[in-house]
Structure 1
Amino acid sequence: MNKNESKYFKSAEKMHTALLTLLDSKDFELISVKEICENAGVNRSTFYLHYDNVNDLLQETVEAVYKDFFGRFGAEGPGALDIDEKNEDELFLVTPKYLMPYLDFVEENRKLFYLMYEKNEMMGAEKTYETWFKTIFGPILTRFGVPQKEQPLIMVFYLKGIIGVVTEWVRGGCSESKDEIISVIQKCIIKP
C-alpha cells in the first residue's frame, strides 16, 4: 500500500470512529457532515472524497463493524466453519461459543445495532443475511437433512427470532446478563 492509499484508509477509519462516537450521543438523523469532520479531524473535502453523504459513511461503517465482528471468532468463527469436517454438535450455532461474541458486539455497538435493525433495508442487512445463508446456514441445514424448500423459512424464523430477542435486550439497556439472553434464545429454539 502506498502512502496515499494509507492516508485514504486512515481518513476513512477516523470518520467511521467519529460516526460511532456521535451515535453514542445522538440520533443518526441529527448527525451532520460538519460534526463528523470535526470529530474525525478531517476537512469536508476529505469527507466528500470518500462519500456522497452520511448514509454512505454509515453503510461503510457497518461493513467495517461486521468485519470486526467476524474477526472476533478467529479461525473458529462461523465464516471459517469447514462444515464437512465438523460433527453435528459442532454445527449447532446457538451456543455460548457463538452467541457470546455476538452479544458482546451488540452491547458494544448498541446504537449502531438498533439503527441497523430499524433501517435494515437502507443498511443492506438482507444482503448480509443472504450471504450468511449461502455460506454458513444453508449448508448446515442441508447437513441436518432439512429440505431445500424449507431452509429459507427456517432461516427467517431463526434470524427474526434471535434479532427480536436481542433488539428487546438493547431497548431495555442490556440490563439482563448475556448468559440470561443466551438462555432465552436457547429456550426458544431447543426442545425443553
Structure 2
Amino acid sequence: MPNSIDRRKKYTRMVLKDSLIQLLKEKPISSITVKELCELADVNRSTFYAHYYNQFDLLDKIEEETIEDMKGYMNKFKYEKKEDVPHIMENLLGYFSSNRDVCQTLLNETETTFQSKATVVAHQFFLKNWTYMNDQEEDLTEYLSTYVINGAIHVVKAWLANGMDKSPGEMAKILNHFINKGLER
C-alpha cells in the first residue's frame, strides 16, 4: 500500500509541474491561477494544496529541483585544464538539451529566479573546477567568470529558442571560441 501512495504523490506532483510549465509558455506566473492549473492537471484544488501553498511555491520547487539536478549533473565532472573547457560546456549543453522544455521555460520566464540561481551554481562550479585560472588575480577571475557565465547563459537561451539548431558539441566549440578568442576570427 505505501508504494501506491508514493506513486500517486509522484504522479500528482509530476502532472502539476508539467501543467505549470505548459502554462508558463503562454503567460507569466502572476497570471496563472491555481484553479486553471488544477483544471489542466486534472486534479482538484485540495490535492494541489496538499502538496503546494500556491502556484509560486510550485514554481519555486520546480526551480529548486532543476538546480539540484543540474548541480548533481555538473558534479559528475572535474576539469582542471584549459583544454577541458569544451567538454564541460558540451556536457552542460547536453543537460539543457535533455531538459529543454523546463530549462527554456524557466530561463524565459521573467518572474522566476531560475536564471540567477543557475548563474550562482555555474559561478561556484567555475571557481571550484577551473583551477587552471588560479594563477590569475582573484578579482580578475571573479569578473571573468561573471562575464563568461552571463554571456553563455544568453547564448544558451538563444540556442534553445532556435530549436537547438546545432548539437551540444558544436555549441560548446562556439562558446569556447567566444571565451578564448572573443570576436577574433
Q: State TM-score, norm by structure 2.
A: 0.71
Q: CA deviation at 1:183?
A: 2.5
Aligned to 1:102: 92
Aligned to 1:88: 81
CA distance in 2, matches of 1:118, 1:23: 9
Question: Please, which moves more after superposition, 146-155 or 114-123?
Answer: 114-123
CA distance in 1, matches of 2:117, 2:70: 17
Q: CA deviation at 1:61?
A: 1.2
Could you list the runs of 5+ residues in structure 1 that have no partner in the other structure?
A: none
Q: Percent identity?
A: 25
Q: CA deviation at 1:127?
A: 3.8
Aligned to 1:170: 160
- Identify if the C-alpha distance between structure 1 residues 158 and 180 changes in structure 2 by more than 3 Å, giving closer, same or farther: same
- Identify if the C-alpha distance between structure 1 residues 159 and 121 changes in structure 2 by more than 3 Å, giving closer, same or farther: farther
Deviations 1:119-148 (A, max 9, x none): 5673254344334433x2213345532222
- Identify if the C-alpha distance between structure 1 residues 100 and 149 changes in structure 2 by more than 3 Å, giving closer, same or farther: closer
CA distance in 1, matches of 2:67, 2:57: 16
Aligned to 2:60: 59
Residue 178 of structure 2 is aligned to residue 188 of structure 1: yes
Q: Which has the higher contact order (CA 8 A, sep 6+)?
A: 2
- Identify if the C-alpha distance between structure 1 residues 100 and 138 changes in structure 2 by more than 3 Å, giving closer, same or farther: closer
The number of residue pairs the alignment matches comes to: 178
Q: CA deviation at 1:106?
A: 3.1
CA distance in 1, matches of 2:33, 2:99: 20
1:122 counterpart SS class? coil
Aligned to 2:75: 79
Q: CA deviation at 1:116?
A: 3.0
Aligned to 1:117: 107
Deviations 1:40-82 (A, max 9, x none): 33221121232232222112112223344455x4xxxx32445
CA distance in 2, matches of 1:189, 1:122: 27
- Identify if the C-alpha distance between structure 1 residues 121 and 37 changes in structure 2 by more than 3 Å, giving closer, same or farther: closer
- Identify if the C-alpha distance between structure 1 residues 128 and 105 changes in structure 2 by more than 3 Å, giving closer, same or farther: closer
Q: State TM-score, norm by structure 1.
A: 0.69
Residue 128 of structure 2 is aligned to residue 139 of structure 1: yes
